[in-house]
Chain A
């Protein structure tokens, strides 16, 4: 409750500062609209923001689910099979050296103006952090556990499923948190390159027509999505790992 109050105060102060800046400098509305103007645009254009927001949200969520699934399968394959590690690791690293955003026009060309190209974009952005996070986790199993499992006559597959994978889950969820934070970027970039719907499309459209208050409103909605998504993933991670202690002290020591 206190944290909520603190957040609200921070928001109010920031908004007040923003409004003061606009009022004092008298910047024209098409350069920097005040928070009141943005709030007004948000209310007026709510149906528009809602339809476009829904498109983007669907792209983000589907991309996140698909990207996380693909990353998890890749990491498990890499951890389980030596041959896969030898052949796919360099490929994985090189694939990351190519800026994903440079591929956006190609994806639109191949997959069309619809949601598919944006989902693919989000998947590409998410795939690498999830794969590396889980793979790192899988490589760092306590050697004592592995010794114990070997003396119990466990097969490599049994060790992977029973010990290495559960032990790697905290690392995996860190990767998913990063993925949740970057997924909206992938979807919006995809929309900028070519689309007929979505918040990215709405931003370009509003920008071209000097409806900067609408642009700000769209950015705000996108920000709300990102925060909500992160909070949801964080809650899910805590629920999935009840055994993982949170050792971060609640308050830093006062010097």
Chain B
């Protein structure tokens, strides 16, 4: 799958008569992970939902793709909740997309689902129900389900924010490894998370909100938590968030 570049341009959002932002631009370069940070209620989730096709874009907002084709059907979405269906097994949850598109998963698809579960560290748990898993394991299944979709653009809305600190760090490692080479937009509250796995970081602040310039942390992902350069950048990010 060739990575896809996506741009959301002239974005405008009003909520209850208040202008949240206007003429906003967000670039998602092909094959890179872009992280979007900002305080609650600034409209970052709405930007993500517009790209996901879950929110109607307000005119004159436009979504431009690198190949000029519409984005519908070419995204994979991962939310803060794992959104696993409790009545399906772990394996069937990973294969949910096929089921919803009335496609009976063949042996190759099942094999791929098993391989992805193995990759997120859950081999042997295929037949379990989600209730038997811990919060971190459930989110790993959600990650496998997202990867199973194998779409050019991956949209993640605070995917790890409900997890404890240590589990979150481990999952960031897994996510950075498995999502390498894809176009990813990740909305997050956590500056450290963005610095660990993001190629480009944008901070969205103010009312009406503006998009800050891209911050590009050096080095390959996932970056080490105790990297001094990373900690310096974290201070910078917190300063920008506080503005």
- Identify the A interface with B (CB < 8 A): 142, 144-145, 147-155, 158-159, 162-163, 166-167, 169, 241, 243-245
Contacts and interface: CB of A to CB of B under 8 A. Distances in A.
Closest 7 CB pairs of A and B: A154-B100, A151-B77, A152-B97, A243-B87, A243-B86, A144-B83, A148-B83
A148 B100 CA distance: 10
Contact of A166 (B54, B77, B85): B85
B149 interface: yes
B101 A153 contact: yes
Contact of B100 (A144, A147, A159, A245): A159
A148 B77 CA distance: 7
B54 A151 contact: yes
Interface string B11-26: 0000000000000000
A244 B96 CA distance: 19
22 contacts: A144-B81, A145-B83, A147-B77, A147-B79, A148-B79, A151-B53, A151-B75, A151-B76, A151-B77, A152-B100, A152-B149, A153-B73, A153-B100, A154-B101, A158-B99, A162-B96, A162-B100, A163-B100, A166-B87, A169-B87, A241-B87, A243-B86
Contacts of A144: 79, 81, 83
Interface string B78-102: 0101010111000000001101111
Contact of A145 (B54, B85, B97): B85
Contacts of B72: 153
Given A144-B79, A243-B129, A245-B131, A149 B100 contact: yes
A158 B101 contact: yes
B96 A152 contact: yes
Given A151-B53, A151-B75, A245-B131, 6 more contacts: A151-B54, A151-B76, A151-B77, A152-B149, A153-B73, A158-B100
A151 B81 contact: no
A166 B97 CA distance: 16
Contacts of B54: 147, 150-151
Contacts of B155: 151
Nearest to A241: B87
B52 interface: yes
A154 B53 CA distance: 13
A128 to B, nearest CB: 27
B101 A152 contact: yes
Given A144-B79, A162-B99, A151 B86 contact: no
